[in-house]
Amino acid sequence: MVNAIICEFNPFHNGHEYLMRAAKAKTGADFTLCIMSGNFVQRGQPAFCQKHLRAAAAVHCGADLVLQLPTAHTLAGAQVFAGAGVYIASRLGVDTSLCFGSEDGDLTELFKMAEIDSSVLRAGFAKAAQSGASYAAAAMRAYGECSEKGAQMLKKPNNLLSFEYIKAAREQKSDIRLVNIPRRGAHDGAPDGIYASAGYIRAHEDCDNSKYMPRPLSRGIDIQKYEQLLLWTVYSKTAEELEGFADLDEGLSNRVYSAAKSARTVDELYMLIKSKRYTHAKIRRAVTGIIIGNPRGLYKTPPSCLRVLALNDRGRGLLKRLCDSADLPIIIKPRDAEGIADGHFPLECRATDVYDFCSANRQGRGREYLVSPIYVR
């Protein structure tokens, strides 16, 4: 049996290690497999450190095999992010449990909400939006009309992702088991003993966070350099060019184009773009898509391979089994991905080059071709 965990590890901390241990104790699984975002994360920002280093930290602390969640799916909303992860976990061809952390131990209400007809939710959303509610507020009102308790649960970020996993498994008619593990520590709040959220660690990266992290990791990117490159890239695009990138419909592309003319900082750029219709998270993801060349519609193409980032001896054994059982090809050597003509690998190459260009310790372009999976002995 395999425990699959959809994750970002941005960065890897004690709570993540606890999730893997608790999941294994609950299911009795033989292997732990992580499906992790790459060099850019779902918040629409570059990852705290390079993807292979985060993957290796996970293997050092309980994972056996780490696969990558494609960047096009990572830089989309929670529904797409969760859906792509469930898609990969459902195609391993082995007995699999999808394990995830949540703020609530009992997710019965979320399972009930996942069965609500989507047309009911769309009608509730449209009604709330017409009254002037923001996108997020309209979505919460729509859910609230179906279940006030469920809507309150969805205000907690890990519950929201859990809900998306539940919905995705149902929509994909997946036979994987869904296993909920109550999380340790508050999301982005004050630390609780040895547990601190990834958001807290990122916000206090100049402090000693070793108490909260089982493996030492430090920021791998120069944020100031990245933000200057981002501002220039957005400034250099025409309104027509912007419409070719993911999530940039005509309304948002025009706002981005206008904001780029005068914005002096990335925060100012986001504030000038912001409106009730577009959340900060959506704006960050869309703007990040410009700098890495994330094309419109690519996120609609499902994951086409199992891309290996890190593994140990046990993971090697699991990988051999997956070679025979998985419905998707396994990519160990990056160049092997060139034969899959769906647009995902070229995007990974661009994303890695941008990340490396802005790194504190630049290694040179073409790193996506050169870095093999990290083998942890």
Mean pLDDT of 22-26: 97
pLDDT at 236 over 90: yes
User: What is the structure's pLDDT at 142?
Assistant: 86
User: What is the structure's pLDDT at 210?
Assistant: 94
Confidence of residue 120 (pLDDT cuts 50, 70, 90): confident
Confidence of residue 25 (pLDDT cuts 50, 70, 90): very high
User: What is the structure's pLDDT at 87?
Assistant: 98
CB atoms within 10 A of CB 298: 21
| Maximum mean pLDDT: which of 49-63, 124-138, 363-377 | 49-63
Q: What angle do CA 304, 308, 311 make, to 5 degrees?
A: 150
Mean pLDDT of 355-364: 90
Domain coordinates of the chain in residue numbers? 2-104+157-220+302-342+359-375, 110-153, 223-292
User: What is the structure's pLDDT at 132?
Assistant: 75
Lowest mean pLDDT among 56-70, 303-317, 333-347, 356-370: 333-347
Contacts (Cβ under 8 Å, ≥6 apart) of 217: 11, 12, 48, 49, 53, 54, 57
User: What is the structure's pLDDT at 277?
Assistant: 82
Confidence of residue 279 (pLDDT cuts 50, 70, 90): confident
User: What is the structure's pLDDT at 363?
Assistant: 86
The pLDDT mean for the chain works out to 93
Mean pLDDT of 221-233: 96
User: What is the structure's pLDDT at 186?
Assistant: 61
Distance between CA atoms of 40 and 59, rounded to whole angstroms? 20
- Helices 266-273 and 250-262, axial angle in degrees (round to 10): 140
365: three-class secondary structure by DSSP:
coil
pLDDT at 188 over 70: no
Mean pLDDT of 351-361: 94
Mean pLDDT of 165-191: 89
Contact (CB, 8 A) for 148 and 163? no
What's the pTM? 0.95
User: What is the structure's pLDDT at 296?
Assistant: 95
User: What is the structure's pLDDT at 72?
Assistant: 98
Question: The domain 2-104+157-220+302-342+359-375: what is its CATH number?
Answer: 3.40.50.620
The number of helix segments (H) and strand segments (E) in the chain equals 18, 10
User: What is the structure's pLDDT at 187?
Assistant: 63
What would the two tokens of residue 2 be?
A: 């395999």
Q: What angle do CA 151, 154, 159 make, to 5 degrees?
A: 145
Bigger pLDDT: 132 or 330? 330
Q: Mind listing the pLDDT tens digit for each residue in 330-339?
A: 999 877 877 7
CB atoms within 10 A of CB 3: 27
**For the chain, percent of residues with pLDDT exceeding 70:** 99
Lowest mean pLDDT among 29-38, 41-50, 90-99, 341-350: 341-350
